[in-house]
Structure 1
Amino acid sequence: MARSQPSVGLRPYLPADAAVLAAIFVESIEGLTGDDYTEGQQQAWMSAADDEEHFGAALGKDLTLVATLESSPVGFASLKGADHIEMLYVHPSAAGQGVASALCEALEKLAAARGATRLTVDASDTAHDFFRKRGYADQQRSTVNVGDEWLVRTRMQKALVPVEKGPMQ
Protein backbone atom coordinates (compact mmCIF):
# COMPACT_ATOMS: atom_id res chain seq x y z
CA MET A 1 0.00 0.00 0.00
CA ALA A 2 1.37 3.43 -0.91
CA ARG A 3 2.28 5.66 1.98
CA SER A 4 1.09 9.23 1.68
CA GLN A 5 3.60 12.02 1.86
CA PRO A 6 3.58 13.83 5.21
CA SER A 7 2.08 17.30 5.08
CA VAL A 8 4.26 20.36 5.47
CA GLY A 9 3.69 22.35 8.64
CA LEU A 10 4.64 26.01 9.01
CA ARG A 11 5.37 27.93 12.19
CA PRO A 12 7.11 31.17 13.19
CA TYR A 13 10.86 31.23 13.76
CA LEU A 14 12.01 31.01 17.38
CA PRO A 15 15.51 31.99 18.59
CA ALA A 16 16.05 28.36 19.65
CA ASP A 17 15.83 27.40 15.93
CA ALA A 18 19.07 29.19 15.00
CA ALA A 19 21.38 26.16 15.15
CA VAL A 20 19.12 23.79 13.22
CA LEU A 21 18.34 26.42 10.57
CA ALA A 22 22.04 27.22 10.19
CA ALA A 23 22.60 23.50 9.56
CA ILE A 24 19.75 23.40 7.01
CA PHE A 25 21.24 26.47 5.29
CA VAL A 26 24.67 24.81 5.00
CA GLU A 27 23.35 21.40 3.95
CA SER A 28 21.04 22.97 1.37
CA ILE A 29 23.90 24.87 -0.26
CA GLU A 30 26.25 21.90 -0.02
CA GLY A 31 23.73 19.35 -1.29
CA LEU A 32 21.71 21.25 -3.88
CA THR A 33 23.84 23.94 -5.56
CA GLY A 34 26.84 21.95 -6.84
CA ASP A 35 25.67 22.00 -10.46
CA ASP A 36 25.54 25.79 -10.49
CA TYR A 37 28.33 26.97 -8.15
CA THR A 38 31.94 25.96 -7.56
CA GLU A 39 33.11 24.50 -4.27
CA GLY A 40 34.79 27.81 -3.44
CA GLN A 41 31.57 29.71 -4.10
CA GLN A 42 29.62 27.24 -1.96
CA GLN A 43 32.11 27.57 0.91
CA ALA A 44 31.92 31.36 0.79
CA TRP A 45 28.10 31.24 0.70
CA MET A 46 27.91 28.75 3.59
CA SER A 47 30.19 30.93 5.73
CA ALA A 48 27.16 33.15 6.49
CA ALA A 49 26.12 30.48 9.01
CA ASP A 50 29.53 30.18 10.73
CA ASP A 51 28.37 32.47 13.53
CA GLU A 52 25.06 30.89 14.59
CA GLU A 53 24.22 33.76 16.93
CA HIS A 54 24.60 36.33 14.13
CA PHE A 55 22.75 34.02 11.70
CA GLY A 56 19.86 33.64 14.16
CA ALA A 57 19.74 37.39 14.80
CA ALA A 58 19.46 38.00 11.04
CA LEU A 59 16.55 35.55 10.83
CA GLY A 60 14.89 37.25 13.77
CA LYS A 61 14.98 40.68 12.07
CA ASP A 62 12.74 39.44 9.26
CA LEU A 63 9.45 37.55 9.26
CA THR A 64 10.86 34.02 9.18
CA LEU A 65 8.81 30.86 8.81
CA VAL A 66 10.04 27.36 9.64
CA ALA A 67 8.75 24.41 7.60
CA THR A 68 8.38 21.05 9.32
CA LEU A 69 7.73 17.49 8.24
CA GLU A 70 6.53 15.26 11.06
CA SER A 71 7.39 18.06 13.52
CA SER A 72 11.05 18.27 12.43
CA PRO A 73 12.37 21.47 10.80
CA VAL A 74 13.29 20.86 7.15
CA GLY A 75 13.33 24.37 5.69
CA PHE A 76 12.82 28.05 6.29
CA ALA A 77 12.06 31.28 4.47
CA SER A 78 12.28 34.96 5.40
CA LEU A 79 10.28 37.96 4.25
CA LYS A 80 12.24 41.23 4.50
CA GLY A 81 9.95 44.22 4.81
CA ALA A 82 6.67 43.74 3.04
CA ASP A 83 7.93 42.71 -0.37
CA HIS A 84 11.25 40.83 -0.57
CA ILE A 85 12.04 37.14 -0.03
CA GLU A 86 15.38 37.32 1.75
CA MET A 87 16.00 33.56 2.21
CA LEU A 88 14.39 30.27 1.21
CA TYR A 89 16.27 27.06 2.02
CA VAL A 90 15.21 23.41 2.19
CA HIS A 91 17.20 20.46 3.50
CA PRO A 92 18.22 18.17 0.60
CA SER A 93 16.37 15.21 2.17
CA ALA A 94 13.11 17.19 1.94
CA ALA A 95 13.65 18.59 -1.57
CA GLY A 96 10.82 17.80 -3.95
CA GLN A 97 8.25 17.29 -1.17
CA GLY A 98 6.47 20.64 -1.47
CA VAL A 99 8.42 22.36 1.32
CA ALA A 100 9.72 25.28 -0.77
CA SER A 101 6.31 25.71 -2.41
CA ALA A 102 4.54 25.85 0.97
CA LEU A 103 7.04 28.40 2.27
CA CYS A 104 6.87 30.56 -0.85
CA GLU A 105 3.06 30.47 -0.96
CA ALA A 106 2.88 31.54 2.69
CA LEU A 107 5.30 34.43 2.11
CA GLU A 108 3.31 35.54 -0.95
CA LYS A 109 0.11 35.63 1.13
CA LEU A 110 1.82 37.44 4.00
CA ALA A 111 3.32 40.01 1.63
CA ALA A 112 -0.08 40.64 0.04
CA ALA A 113 -1.64 40.99 3.49
CA ARG A 114 1.03 43.59 4.30
CA GLY A 115 -0.10 45.59 1.28
CA ALA A 116 2.64 44.56 -1.17
CA THR A 117 1.61 44.63 -4.83
CA ARG A 118 4.69 42.68 -5.93
CA LEU A 119 7.25 40.40 -4.36
CA THR A 120 10.94 40.26 -5.28
CA VAL A 121 13.67 37.72 -4.70
CA ASP A 122 17.37 37.57 -5.58
CA ALA A 123 17.33 33.97 -6.80
CA SER A 124 20.41 31.81 -7.04
CA ASP A 125 20.91 29.98 -10.34
CA THR A 126 19.79 26.84 -8.49
CA ALA A 127 16.49 28.40 -7.37
CA HIS A 128 15.79 30.31 -10.59
CA ASP A 129 13.56 27.67 -12.23
CA PHE A 130 11.60 27.14 -9.00
CA PHE A 131 10.67 30.83 -8.87
CA ARG A 132 10.04 31.04 -12.63
CA LYS A 133 7.51 28.19 -12.35
CA ARG A 134 5.77 30.13 -9.56
CA GLY A 135 5.26 33.13 -11.85
CA TYR A 136 8.32 35.22 -11.03
CA ALA A 137 9.86 37.08 -13.97
CA ASP A 138 13.51 37.98 -14.45
CA GLN A 139 14.34 41.62 -13.76
CA GLN A 140 18.14 41.80 -13.63
CA ARG A 141 21.22 39.57 -13.37
CA SER A 142 23.85 40.61 -10.87
CA THR A 143 26.79 39.37 -8.88
CA VAL A 144 27.43 39.70 -5.18
CA ASN A 145 30.85 39.47 -3.54
CA VAL A 146 31.02 36.97 -0.69
CA GLY A 147 34.48 36.66 0.81
CA ASP A 148 36.84 36.08 -2.10
CA GLU A 149 34.10 34.74 -4.38
CA TRP A 150 31.51 36.26 -6.71
CA LEU A 151 28.05 34.67 -6.77
CA VAL A 152 25.63 35.20 -9.65
CA ARG A 153 21.95 35.72 -8.95
CA THR A 154 18.84 37.03 -10.69
CA ARG A 155 16.45 39.63 -9.29
CA MET A 156 12.98 38.25 -9.99
CA GLN A 157 9.56 39.76 -9.38
CA LYS A 158 5.98 38.55 -9.15
CA ALA A 159 2.79 40.63 -9.10
CA LEU A 160 0.62 39.77 -6.10
CA VAL A 161 -3.14 39.57 -5.93
CA PRO A 162 -4.39 42.10 -3.37
CA VAL A 163 -5.94 40.68 -0.23
CA GLU A 164 -9.63 41.48 0.04
CA LYS A 165 -10.40 43.21 3.32
CA GLY A 166 -13.63 42.17 4.95
CA PRO A 167 -16.06 44.56 6.66
CA MET A 168 -14.50 43.89 10.10
CA GLN A 169 -10.94 44.81 9.03
Structure 2
Amino acid sequence: MRIRRAAPGEAPALLAIFQSSVRGLASRDYTPAQIDAWAPLAADAAWCEAWRRRVGANQPWAVEIEARLVAYADLQPSGYLDHFYVAADAAGQGIGAALMRHLLGIAREQGIDCVVADVSLRARAFFERFGFAVEREQCVSVRGVSLRNARMRLAVAAAPAAPLAAGPLAGTPLND
Protein backbone atom coordinates (compact mmCIF):
# COMPACT_ATOMS: atom_id res chain seq x y z
CA MET A 1 0.00 0.00 0.00
CA ARG A 2 1.36 3.39 -1.01
CA ILE A 3 -0.12 6.74 0.03
CA ARG A 4 0.83 9.61 -2.25
CA ARG A 5 -0.55 12.82 -3.70
CA ALA A 6 -3.04 12.19 -6.47
CA ALA A 7 -1.92 13.37 -9.89
CA PRO A 8 -4.10 15.80 -11.90
CA GLY A 9 -4.76 13.17 -14.57
CA GLU A 10 -6.17 10.74 -12.01
CA ALA A 11 -9.50 12.53 -11.61
CA PRO A 12 -11.39 9.75 -13.49
CA ALA A 13 -10.00 7.13 -11.09
CA LEU A 14 -10.91 9.30 -8.09
CA LEU A 15 -14.42 9.75 -9.46
CA ALA A 16 -14.73 5.96 -9.78
CA ILE A 17 -13.69 5.59 -6.11
CA PHE A 18 -16.21 8.26 -5.10
CA GLN A 19 -19.02 6.54 -7.04
CA SER A 20 -18.09 3.10 -5.69
CA SER A 21 -17.91 4.32 -2.11
CA VAL A 22 -21.18 6.23 -2.13
CA ARG A 23 -23.12 3.68 -4.17
CA GLY A 24 -21.60 0.56 -2.64
CA LEU A 25 -21.30 1.57 1.01
CA ALA A 26 -23.34 4.67 1.88
CA SER A 27 -26.34 3.36 -0.05
CA ARG A 28 -27.14 1.23 3.01
CA ASP A 29 -28.14 4.40 4.89
CA TYR A 30 -29.59 6.65 2.20
CA THR A 31 -32.46 6.38 -0.27
CA PRO A 32 -31.86 5.87 -4.01
CA ALA A 33 -32.85 9.51 -4.60
CA GLN A 34 -30.30 10.70 -2.03
CA ILE A 35 -27.57 8.53 -3.55
CA ASP A 36 -28.39 9.78 -7.06
CA ALA A 37 -28.13 13.39 -5.86
CA TRP A 38 -24.86 12.76 -4.04
CA ALA A 39 -23.14 10.60 -6.66
CA PRO A 40 -25.08 10.78 -9.93
CA LEU A 41 -24.27 8.08 -12.46
CA ALA A 42 -25.67 10.11 -15.33
CA ALA A 43 -24.03 13.37 -14.34
CA ASP A 44 -23.95 16.15 -16.87
CA ALA A 45 -20.71 17.69 -18.08
CA ALA A 46 -21.09 20.71 -15.80
CA TRP A 47 -21.38 18.52 -12.68
CA CYS A 48 -18.38 16.42 -13.71
CA GLU A 49 -16.27 19.51 -14.38
CA ALA A 50 -17.25 21.12 -11.05
CA TRP A 51 -16.43 17.87 -9.23
CA ARG A 52 -13.06 17.60 -11.00
CA ARG A 53 -12.18 21.21 -10.14
CA ARG A 54 -13.16 20.76 -6.50
CA VAL A 55 -11.15 17.57 -6.08
CA GLY A 56 -8.18 19.09 -7.90
CA ALA A 57 -8.25 22.17 -5.67
CA ASN A 58 -8.36 19.92 -2.60
CA GLN A 59 -5.05 18.25 -3.59
CA PRO A 60 -6.06 14.82 -2.29
CA TRP A 61 -3.91 11.98 -1.09
CA ALA A 62 -4.49 8.68 -2.88
CA VAL A 63 -3.97 5.12 -1.74
CA GLU A 64 -2.49 2.86 -4.39
CA ILE A 65 -2.31 -0.92 -4.15
CA GLU A 66 -0.71 -2.90 -6.96
CA ALA A 67 -0.96 0.06 -9.38
CA ARG A 68 -4.69 0.59 -8.61
CA LEU A 69 -6.10 3.59 -6.76
CA VAL A 70 -8.46 2.35 -4.04
CA ALA A 71 -9.02 5.40 -1.81
CA TYR A 72 -8.48 9.12 -1.57
CA ALA A 73 -8.93 11.90 0.95
CA ASP A 74 -7.85 15.45 1.56
CA LEU A 75 -7.06 17.68 4.50
CA GLN A 76 -7.38 21.41 4.01
CA PRO A 77 -5.06 23.93 5.75
CA SER A 78 -8.06 24.97 7.86
CA GLY A 79 -8.33 21.42 9.21
CA TYR A 80 -11.42 20.62 7.16
CA LEU A 81 -11.50 17.11 5.73
CA ASP A 82 -13.64 17.55 2.61
CA HIS A 83 -13.41 14.14 0.89
CA PHE A 84 -12.65 10.74 2.41
CA TYR A 85 -13.62 7.81 0.19
CA VAL A 86 -12.58 4.17 -0.11
CA ALA A 87 -13.76 2.00 -3.01
CA ALA A 88 -16.43 -0.45 -1.88
CA ASP A 89 -14.39 -3.51 -2.86
CA ALA A 90 -11.44 -2.23 -0.80
CA ALA A 91 -13.39 -1.38 2.37
CA GLY A 92 -12.76 -3.24 5.60
CA GLN A 93 -9.11 -3.96 4.83
CA GLY A 94 -7.49 -1.22 6.91
CA ILE A 95 -7.04 1.11 3.94
CA GLY A 96 -9.22 3.83 5.43
CA ALA A 97 -7.43 3.52 8.77
CA ALA A 98 -4.03 3.89 7.11
CA LEU A 99 -5.25 6.93 5.18
CA MET A 100 -6.71 8.53 8.33
CA ARG A 101 -3.46 7.97 10.25
CA HIS A 102 -1.61 9.60 7.34
CA LEU A 103 -3.89 12.65 7.37
CA LEU A 104 -3.69 13.02 11.15
CA GLY A 105 0.10 12.83 10.90
CA ILE A 106 0.01 15.65 8.36
CA ALA A 107 -2.26 17.65 10.66
CA ARG A 108 0.27 17.28 13.48
CA GLU A 109 3.19 18.23 11.20
CA GLN A 110 1.36 21.33 9.96
CA GLY A 111 0.26 22.43 13.42
CA ILE A 112 -3.44 21.92 12.72
CA ASP A 113 -5.11 21.77 16.13
CA CYS A 114 -8.51 20.53 15.07
CA VAL A 115 -9.83 18.41 12.19
CA VAL A 116 -13.48 18.84 11.18
CA ALA A 117 -15.53 16.75 8.76
CA ASP A 118 -19.12 16.42 7.62
CA VAL A 119 -19.53 12.68 7.98
CA SER A 120 -22.08 10.35 6.41
CA LEU A 121 -24.21 8.04 8.51
CA ARG A 122 -22.16 5.08 7.26
CA ALA A 123 -18.80 6.67 8.16
CA ARG A 124 -19.69 7.95 11.62
CA ALA A 125 -18.48 4.87 13.56
CA PHE A 126 -15.22 4.86 11.59
CA PHE A 127 -14.52 8.48 12.56
CA GLU A 128 -15.51 7.83 16.18
CA ARG A 129 -12.86 5.09 16.38
CA PHE A 130 -10.26 7.78 15.69
CA GLY A 131 -11.61 9.97 18.48
CA PHE A 132 -13.86 12.26 16.44
CA ALA A 133 -16.92 13.50 18.36
CA VAL A 134 -20.23 14.68 16.93
CA GLU A 135 -20.49 18.44 17.12
CA ARG A 136 -23.98 18.47 15.61
CA GLU A 137 -26.37 16.43 13.51
CA GLN A 138 -27.33 18.21 10.32
CA CYS A 139 -29.37 17.96 7.19
CA VAL A 140 -27.63 19.22 4.05
CA SER A 141 -29.01 19.82 0.59
CA VAL A 142 -27.21 18.12 -2.28
CA ARG A 143 -28.55 18.94 -5.74
CA GLY A 144 -31.87 19.82 -4.10
CA VAL A 145 -32.16 16.62 -2.04
CA SER A 146 -31.80 16.53 1.77
CA LEU A 147 -29.23 14.19 3.31
CA ARG A 148 -28.51 13.66 7.00
CA ASN A 149 -24.94 13.69 8.24
CA ALA A 150 -22.94 14.80 11.26
CA ARG A 151 -20.40 17.55 11.73
CA MET A 152 -17.59 15.83 13.62
CA ARG A 153 -14.54 17.33 15.27
CA LEU A 154 -11.24 15.96 16.54
CA ALA A 155 -8.67 17.72 18.71
CA VAL A 156 -5.53 16.51 16.95
CA ALA A 157 -3.41 16.44 20.12
CA ALA A 158 -5.92 14.01 21.67
CA ALA A 159 -6.16 11.77 18.61
CA PRO A 160 -5.08 8.16 19.08
CA ALA A 161 -2.17 6.99 16.92
CA ALA A 162 -4.34 4.08 15.79
CA PRO A 163 -8.10 3.58 15.67
CA LEU A 164 -9.70 2.69 18.98
CA ALA A 165 -11.06 -0.54 17.47
CA ALA A 166 -10.92 -2.20 14.09
CA GLY A 167 -14.07 -3.34 12.38
CA PRO A 168 -16.07 -3.83 9.23
CA LEU A 169 -16.70 -0.11 8.77
CA ALA A 170 -13.04 0.83 8.34
CA GLY A 171 -12.68 3.02 5.30
CA THR A 172 -16.29 3.91 4.70
CA PRO A 173 -17.20 7.17 3.01
CA LEU A 174 -17.49 10.67 4.23
CA ASN A 175 -20.47 12.69 3.15
CA ASP A 176 -19.64 15.13 0.42
Query: Normalising to structure 1: TM-score of the pair?
Result: 0.85
Is 1:158 aligned to 2:154, yes or no?
yes
Identical amino acids, percent of aligned pairs: 31
Give SS of 2:39's match.
helix
Is 1:121 aligned to 2:117, yes or no?
yes
Is 1:32 aligned to 2:25, yes or no?
yes
Count of paired positions: 155
Shift of the alpha carbon at 1:10? 0.6
**C-alpha contact (below 8 Å) 1:77/1:103 kept by paired residues:** yes
Give SS of 1:135's match.
coil
Code of the aligned partner of 2:18: F
Shift of the alpha carbon at 1:16? 0.7
Q: Give the aligned CA root-mean-square deviation in angstroms.
A: 1.8
Partners of 2:97 and 2:58 in 1: how far apart? 19
Equivalent residue for 2:137, pick from 134, 141, 159: 141
Query: Normalising to structure 2: TM-score of the pair?
Result: 0.82
Give SS of 2:9's match.
helix
Extract structure 1 runs of 4+ deviating beyond 6 A: none
Code of the aligned partner of 1:11: R
**Higher-RCO chain (CA-CA 8 Å, sequence separation at least 6):** 2
Correspondence for 1:43: 36
Partners of 1:31 and 1:38 in 2: how far apart? 13
**C-alpha contact (below 8 Å) 1:26/1:49 kept by paired residues:** no
Correspondence for 2:50: 54
Equivalent residue for 2:98, pick from 97, 102, 105: 102
**Gaps in structure 2 of 5+ consecutive residues:** 159-176
**C-alpha contact (below 8 Å) 2:116/2:153 kept by paired residues:** yes
Partners of 2:9 and 2:150 in 1: how far apart? 32
Code of the aligned partner of 1:111: A
Shift of the alpha carbon at 1:48? 9.4
**C-alpha contact (below 8 Å) 1:140/1:155 kept by paired residues:** yes
Correspondence for 2:161: none
Shift of the alpha carbon at 1:66? 0.5
Give SS of 2:28's match.
coil
Correspondence for 2:81: 85
- Bigger Cα Rg: 1
Shift of the alpha carbon at 1:49? 9.2
**C-alpha contact (below 8 Å) 2:77/2:112 kept by paired residues:** no
Report which of the two has the higher share of strand.
1
Correspondence for 1:166: none
